[in-house]
Amino acid sequence: MAELSLFCYGTLISSFVREKILGHKSGVIVKKASLHGYAVMTVAETYYPTLITAGKKQIVSDVLVSGLTDMDLSILDQFEGVNYSRKTRTVSAEDGSLLNSFVYLPNKFLETAGPWVFEDWESKQLKLFLSKDFDLSGIRRPN
């Protein structure tokens, strides 16, 4: 079975959120990675982010989660809901190597409300995300 990887730029950076969705996963490896040409923005009226296309010099530096199964990705597809689809993009690993990885990109324009910073979200909005937006059958759609 091929090893599958996912570049995480938002709520899935959190091991707590990933485990709520997938359960405790042994064999999953999390490493720093980056994606060029995008920026992470907060989706308006929600507690989660989206990627937007940005200049080629813009870099999103977050994590690459490897060791996922097809079933894991199916569960994550459902969780991401109708606004996001899993696409393949080239990411830069921490060691400088380039890897093809899955990433969730928006299917349509989502109104944004400024930059999204994981550390701020984790300390101030994680509980709000879990109580208002989190749903295993698909995160809440923006209003």
Its pTM stands at 0.94
User: Which of 120, 121, 115 minimizes the C-alpha distance to 134?
Assistant: 121
Name the DSSP letter for residue 131. Answer: I
Q: Are 50 and 41 in contact (CB under 8 A)?
A: yes
The pLDDT-based confidence of 56 (bands split at 50, 70, 90) is: confident
* Residue ranges per structural domain of the chain: 4-133
Pick the CATH number of 4-133 from 3.10.490.10, 2.102.10.10, 3.90.79.10, 3.40.50.300: 3.10.490.10
If one compares 90 and 27, the residue with the highest pLDDT of the two is 90
Q: Are 37 and 53 in contact (CB under 8 A)?
A: yes
Q: Are 73 and 83 in contact (CB under 8 A)?
A: no
CB atoms within 10 A of CB 114: 8
